[in-house]
């Protein structure tokens, strides 16, 4: 992966003091908060703004200036109240460190002992969707199976209530909120989860409508009998 050509990666300049981790953190936070004043100052490599902010972070968090291990990153997380996830090229660009869940998160890419910023995790992996809970890519919401999410509405905070059977997809929603969520359009989606899948009341299979329309389904198969 070419770090300079990957638009989803923000390149952090090397320095003799080994502060690339802290520099990546402060730069990632500036982009997360859309702080254009800070971004413009730090991306100007002829000025020391990025290096100075990294040194300030080390001082404020009481972390000795220099290269950082995951132990130092954990200290930064506590000081900034920010979850930091580290993806490593030595581990097939998978997560090698992730602190406890917090209200905000930044993603760093570790390669050749150097840290860069992952600006877009979906762009980094070239996928339509990315689950921050199970750290997996997926192309279709209806196909993603995450043990942390409700299988009906795919929300992680779906609480049981009064179950409600959807007359359109025949799936049993956990509550009224779950029902509304599985009907809702999110992001740039053209179809809701209800529009994408249905469940057979007889064989209990969950089937994608594009694979087999509901009216053509025959138990024992998930494919359209007309299309084969």
Mean pLDDT of 8-35: 96
**Does the pLDDT at position 226 exceed 60?**
no
Cα angle 35, 97, 140 (rounded to 5 degrees) comes to: 75
Residue 152 shares a structural domain with residue 116: no
Q: What is the pLDDT of residues 96-142, one digit of tens each?
A: 999 999 999 999 999 999 999 999 999 999 998 899 989 999 887 77
Domain for residue 62, yes or no? yes
Residue 18 shares a structural domain with residue 112: yes
> Is 198 in a helix, a strand, or coil?
strand
pLDDT for the residue 63: 97
pLDDT for the residue 20: 97
Residue 192 shares a structural domain with residue 95: no
Residue 26 shares a structural domain with residue 93: yes
Residue 103 shares a structural domain with residue 154: no
| Domain tally, the chain | 2
Residue 21 shares a structural domain with residue 104: yes
Residue 20 shares a structural domain with residue 59: yes
Last residue of a domain, one of 63, 90, 125: 125
| Higher per-residue confidence, 4 vs 185 | 185
Domain for residue 199, yes or no? yes
| Higher per-residue confidence, 226 vs 110 | 110
Residue 185 shares a structural domain with residue 109: no
Residue 19 shares a structural domain with residue 87: yes
pLDDT for the residue 193: 92
Tokens 């799936």, residue? 171
Domain for residue 105, yes or no? yes
Domain for residue 227, yes or no? no
Instruction: Pick from 44-48, 160-164, 203-207 the range whose average pLDDT is largest.
Output: 160-164
Residue 165 shares a structural domain with residue 63: no
**Does the pLDDT at position 4 exceed 70?**
no
**Does the pLDDT at position 35 exceed 60?**
yes
Mean pLDDT of 75-101: 96
Residues 6+ apart with CB under 8 A from 2: none
Residue 107 shares a structural domain with residue 20: yes
**Does the pLDDT at position 87 exceed 90?**
yes
Domain CATH code at residue 120 = 3.90.70
Domain for residue 65, yes or no? yes
DSSP alpha helix (H) spans, the chain = 20-32, 36-43, 49-60, 70-80, 121-125, 176-183, 193-196
Residue 21 shares a structural domain with residue 113: yes
Last residue of a domain, one of 95, 125, 155: 125
Provide the residue range defining the domain that includes 31.
Answer: 9-125
Domain for residue 130, yes or no? no
Cα angle 84, 87, 92 (rounded to 5 degrees) comes to: 165
pTM: 0.75
Domain for residue 138, yes or no? no
- 3 pLDDT band, cuts 50/70/90, is low
Domain for residue 36, yes or no? yes
């Amino acid at each position: 992966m070419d770090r300079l050509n990957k638009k989803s990666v923000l390149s952090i300049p090397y320095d003799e003091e080994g502060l690339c981790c802290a520099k990546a953190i402060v730069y990632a936070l500036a982009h997360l908060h859309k702080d254009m004043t800070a971004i413009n100052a730090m991306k100007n490599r002829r000025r020391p703004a990025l290096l100075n902010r990294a040194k300030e972070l080390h001082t404020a968090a009481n972390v000795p200036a220099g290269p950082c291990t995951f132990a130092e990153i954990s200290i930064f997380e506590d000081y900034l109240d920010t979850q930091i996830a580290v993806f490593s090229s030595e581990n097939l660009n998978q997560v090698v460190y992730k602190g406890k869940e917090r209200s905000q998160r930044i993603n760093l890419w570790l390669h050749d002992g150097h840290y860069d910023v992952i600006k877009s995790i979906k762009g980094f992996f070239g996928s339509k969707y990315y689950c921050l809970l199970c750290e997996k890519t997926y192309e279709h919401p209806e196909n993603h199976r995450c043990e942390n999410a409700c299988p009906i509405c795919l929300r992680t905070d779906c609480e049981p209530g009064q179950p409600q059977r959807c007359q359109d997809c025949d799936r049993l929603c956990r509550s009224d909120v779950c029902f509304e969520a599985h009907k809702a359009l999110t992001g740039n989606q053209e179809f809701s989860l209800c529009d994408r899948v249905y469940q057979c009341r007889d064989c209990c299979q969950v089937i994608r409508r594009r694979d087999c329309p509901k009216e053509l389904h025959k138990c024992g198969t998930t494919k359209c009998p007309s299309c084969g």
